[in-house]
């Protein structure tokens, strides 16, 4: 996080809340810009948009006027734990045959028939 953004948030922003990842959410104390108040998030750690939970995403993008309740933020038993976007990291998904995985994949089993024009 940039020190200027932190100072601006403390001076011009009104704190609204935090999420389970430690991100802090603010709204502007000043007049609205083009009919909308300014809303932003200060990320805890690396700024990664995929770390914003859905209930806060809705508030940031003016889908709801107020952040959703704490009960909306509680995960259901069937939900998986949040994973950040792993693209560009060593943990990113790479299918069989990817160059980084050696570039080899299993041979076709014979159930594949290529299309050929007549």
Does residue 117 belong to any structural domain of this protein?
A: no
Residues 48-59: tens digit of each pLDDT: 888 888 888 989
Residue 45, both tokens: 């750690």
Taking residues 63-81, report their average pLDDT. 76
Tally the domains of the chain.
1
Where do the DSSP E strands lie in 3-111? 13-18, 24-28, 39-42
Does residue 115 belong to any structural domain of this protein?
A: no
Reading phi first (left if > 0) and then psi (alpha if -120 to 50, else beta), residue 73 is in alpha
Residues 4-28: tens digit of each pLDDT: 888 888 888 999 988 888 899 999 9
Reading phi first (left if > 0) and then psi (alpha if -120 to 50, else beta), residue 46 is in beta
Does residue 43 belong to any structural domain of this protein?
A: yes
Domain that holds residue 27: 3-74
Residues 22-44: tens digit of each pLDDT: 899 999 988 777 778 899 999 99
* DSSP H helical ranges for the chain: 3-12, 54-60, 70-73
């Amino acid at each position: 996080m940039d020190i200027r953004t932190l100072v601006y948030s403390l001076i011009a922003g009104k704190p609204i809340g935090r999420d389970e990842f430690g991100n802090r959410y603010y709204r502007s104390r000043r007049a609205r810009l083009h009919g909308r108040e300014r809303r932003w998030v200060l990320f805890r750690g690396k700024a990664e948009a995929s770390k914003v939970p859905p209930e806060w995403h809705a508030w940031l993008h003016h889908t709801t006027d107020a952040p959703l309740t704490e009960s909306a933020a509680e995960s259901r038993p069937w939900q998986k734990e949040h994973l950040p976007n792993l693209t560009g990291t060593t943990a990113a998904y790479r299918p069989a045959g990817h160059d980084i995985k050696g570039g080899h994949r299993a041979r076709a089993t014979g159930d594949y028939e290529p299309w050929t024009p007549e």
